[in-house]
Structures are given as structure tokens and as C-alpha cells.
Amino acid sequence: MNEPVSTRLTGYVAAFPATPGARDALRQYLDDARRALRTDPDADEIVRDLESAIGDRLSARTASGDDAVTGARMTAILAELGPVSPARPAPPSVQGRSRGRFWCRINEGKWFGGICLGVAAYGEFRVDWVRTVVLLLTLVTGGLLGVAYLVLLLVLPVVPTVTDYERQRDAPRYP
């Protein structure tokens, strides 16, 4: 029932005899390590080093003539190594912070510069209402809003489409 199985580790040509419980404990430990290191660019190398360290301990045990490694012995070896955690915290982009809304001009569907379309995308309004309000405010202010509109034409960044705006708005923010 606890028939030894061959367990191969990185860096070792020979397989180590282990009970199914020991193999399962090892597999769980390495899976947990991969999960903990998923954001680390050196994760594969770290896991290989862990396998090598485990192999060193197992080879010292099998060199003394002992039989298959039991689940209890494997658990003790893994406890010596301790839990695996990333060396540095996950960057904010991985934690899910998005760029957020930003002011821009949008080229697709623009009438005059795309500012009204950009304001509509920023506030999630209907563009025809924004255009109507801008036109009325320009008339009421005697053209003063028209001057501000021209300044915004020079200052605001251009985004090709509303879909591109939404993608950039929801994209992760980098520090």
C-alpha cells in the first residue's frame, strides 16, 4: 500500500524512493512555492533551487542506506526549508489598481477637435448633451468658453477611439 515511488528532482540524475505521502507533500510544497512566486520574474530559478536543496537533503538521507523517504520525514525536510514567500511585494499593477479616468480629446466621431467627446467619455455622458451644453455656455459667456476650448485643443492628449480611452482608463498603473 505504501509502495515506494520514484521521485525525480531538478539537478539529480537518480530518482529518490519515496512513499506516496512524501511525494504528495513535496508536490504540494512546490505548488505552493510556485503560487507564492507567480509575480517574481525569477520564480522558475527559485523553484529549481528549492528542488536542488531538497535533493541535497534527500541524497544525504539515502546515502546512509535508509529506505524510501516517508511522509513524516519529507514534512520535516520541508519544515527545515520553511515557507516560500516573494522577496519583494507585488507591484501595484498586479494588485489591480487601474489608471483611472483622465481628460483627453477623442478623434473618432469628433466634430471640432474631439473635446466634447473626451468630456463625455470622462463623465460617461451622452456626447450630444455635452455638445449642447458647451454650445449654450459658449453663447452665454460671450465666447469666453470658446477661448478655453481652443486652449484645451492645444493641451489635451489625443486618443483615437472611445474604446481605446476605456482600455487605457482600465489598464494597470505603473509606479
* Cα–Cα–Cα angle for 134, 161, 94, rounded to 5 degrees: 115
End-to-end, the C-alpha distance of the chain in Å comes to: 55
Distance CA 42, CA 32 (A): 15
In the chain, where are the structural domains located? 5-81, 105-170
In order along its 175 residues, the chain shows pLDDT tens digits of: 567 787 878 777 878 888 888 888 888 888 888 888 777 777 788 888 888 888 888 887 766 556 778 888 888 888 888 888 776 655 554 455 667 888 889 988 888 888 999 899 888 899 999 999 999 999 999 989 889 989 999 999 999 888 888 888 887 765 5
* Cα–Cα–Cα angle for 146, 152, 156, rounded to 5 degrees: 160
pTM of the model: 0.49
- Say if residues 10 and 56 touch (Cβ distance below 8 Å): no
